[in-house]
Structures are given as C-alpha cells and as structure tokens.
C-alpha cells in the first residue's frame, strides 16, 4: 500500500498527463467515428457571443461586395418570376410548401482544416435544428450539425465526414460528394458509373435522394475526371461555385416532410428484417 502511494506521488505529473491525454483523445476519437462533440463546439454561449462581436466589426469591410452578390441574386430571381408562364397562387399557402428558408449570417468560417465547421448566428430560438441544409446564393455550403439557443455550427462540405448526394445536371446519374482534404475550392464526386458520358465543364447539382437539400441546388463544374482503381466508376474533381473563403450571408433550408420521410424509411427497414 505504502509503495502504491509512493508510486502515485512520485509519478503524479506523468499520471496527470496521461489522464488528460486520454480525456482529450476520447473526445477527439469519439467525434471521428460519429458526430462532432455536443459540448466542444463554437455554438455555445460564450464563444458564440465573442465570435459575433468580432464579426459585427469585420462585416463592415465587405458590405459593398455582399450587396453586389445579393443584387445579382435578386436580379436572377426577378427574371425567373417575370418569365413564369402561369401564376400559381396556391404555392403561397404555407401548408403546401415543402421547403422553408431562414437567413443567417456567418460569424466564423474555416476552410484550412481537414474538418471544417462554420458557425452561424441562428439557433434553436429561430427553430434551426440539426440536419437542415445550408446554402448560399451561389450554391451549397453544408449541413447544420449542432445548435444552441442562438447559434449553430455547420458541417461544411469541406469536411472529411461530409457526404452529400449529388448528380450531373439534367441527367439522373447520381453519386456522392466528398472531400479529399487537399484544396478548399475543389471537392470530389464519386460513384458515377463509367457508362455516363462526361465533359469537362458540366454542372453538378444536388440530387433528389436526400431529405436535406432540395433537388438542383448548384454545386460546381467538372474540372477533371478519371476512372477509379476498379475502372468501373469515375472520380470527378468538382470546382465549387462558392468561394468558400468569403461567405457572409447564408440560407438555411428546412424540408418540412423530413420527419415523415425518415419515419417511413425506418418503418420499411424494420419491416424488411
């Protein structure tokens, strides 16, 4: 007994180090396998408010550019609206809308890590929930991962855990959008079968297979493609439309039927077994 106590006293620094190391590795590895840790994220009260204060100052330096972007988007939407052939008033009924949109501001952005997260200034109070889609006026951005009362963190498409259903525009050939952690303006589209005709410059949009994003949100254009090692699927490099280094205003997309879809899928799964 005496010896054990002596041992502990003698090596207390080493034991403390090992203990703290195990704690931090535990947090890290746990989130590698499943989800970002619930507590270790920048959407909590203290970090959220500090980041927002800092962002309040820095947003003034990009107002011109940001206005320009919003004007361009408005022009595009106006064009769509004026050139519509039939006026459909029933769409305005909120009960029939499949997707609802909330705006938010980015208060922290990162794109240089293997797992990038973006923090935005809307949270549970604005009925933002995990697994909603986040887009910008130019294209897709990511998926909500954690929420607090006033803030949320977004798992960016520049995240090695990100996996989003995408397809080639005007076709129904879909694959998964992943990121190889190398460049912040290029993501990879995999699992497109070999028989699909591809051209450099083709547009990639989100597919209809996910219950998170609406179909047809722009992602980027094909920059380069080659066959994978098994020679049956393409590996495609996609140049993003979004400039991931400069993002200020985002839209949060909510699919109102998501719960229903998930429930149905779960039922089918349990029945099938």
Partner 1 sequence: MVSNYYFLNVVRFLLLVLVQVLVFNKLNFFGFINPMVYILFLYWYPIKENRAAFIGLGFLLGIAIDFFSDTMAIHAASTITIAYMRPAIMRFVFGVNFEFQSFKLSNTTRVQQITFLALLIIVHHFVFFTLEIFSLDNFLLILKKVLATGTGTLILCLLFGSLFSVRKE
Q: Which residues bind partner 1 (CB under 8 A)?
A: 12-14, 16-17, 20-21, 23-28, 31-32, 36-37, 40-42, 44, 46-47, 50-51, 54, 108-115, 117, 119, 153, 181, 183-184, 245
CB of 8 to partner 1, least distance (A): 12
CB of 110 to partner 1, least distance (A): 7
Cα–Cα distance, 224 to 231 (Å, whole number): 16
CB of 269 to partner 1, least distance (A): 31
28 or 149: CB nearest partner 1: 28
47 or 163: CB nearest partner 1: 47
24 or 149: CB nearest partner 1: 24
CB of 54 to partner 1, least distance (A): 5
114 or 193: CB nearest partner 1: 114
108 or 254: CB nearest partner 1: 108
12 or 169: CB nearest partner 1: 12
CB of 116 to partner 1, least distance (A): 8
CB of 107 to partner 1, least distance (A): 11
Task: With beta carbons less than 8 A apart as the criterion, state whether 105 and 119 touch.
Answer: no
Cα angle vertex 257, ends 255, 261, to 5°?
A: 115
């Amino acid at each position: 007994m005496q010896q054990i106590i002596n041992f502990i006293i003698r090596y207390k620094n080493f034991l403390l180090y090992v203990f703290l190391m195990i704690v931090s590795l535990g947090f890290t590895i746990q989130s590698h396998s499943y989800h970002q840790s619930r507590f270790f994220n920048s959407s909590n009260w203290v970090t959220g408010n500090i980041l927002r204060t800092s962002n309040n100052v820095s947003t003034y330096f990009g107002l011109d550019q940001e206005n320009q972007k919003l004007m361009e988007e408005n022009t595009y939407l106006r064009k769509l609206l004026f050139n519509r052939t039939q006026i459909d008033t029933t769409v305005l009924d909120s009960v029939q809308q499949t997707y609802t949109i909330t705006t938010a501001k980015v208060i922290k952005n990162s794109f240089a890590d293997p797992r990038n997260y973006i923090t935005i200034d809307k949270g549970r109070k604005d009925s933002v929930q995990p697994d909603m889609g986040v887009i910008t006026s130019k294209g897709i951005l990511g998926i909500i991962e954690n929420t607090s009362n006033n803030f949320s963190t977004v798992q960016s498409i520049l995240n090695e855990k990100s996996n989003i259903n995408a397809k080639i525009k005007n076709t129904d050939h879909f694959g998964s959008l992943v990121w190889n952690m190398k460049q912040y303006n290029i993501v990879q589209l995999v699992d497109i079968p070999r028989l699909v005709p591809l051209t450099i410059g083709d547009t990639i949009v989100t597919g209809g297979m996910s219950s998170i994003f609406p179909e047809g949100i722009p992602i980027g254009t094909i920059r380069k493609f080659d066959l994978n090692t098994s020679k049956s699927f393409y590996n495609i490099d996609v140049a993003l439309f979004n400039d991931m280094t400069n993002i200020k205003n985002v839209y949060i997309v909510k699919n109102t039927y998501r719960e229903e879809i998930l429930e149905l899928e779960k039922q089918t799964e349990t029945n099938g077994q």
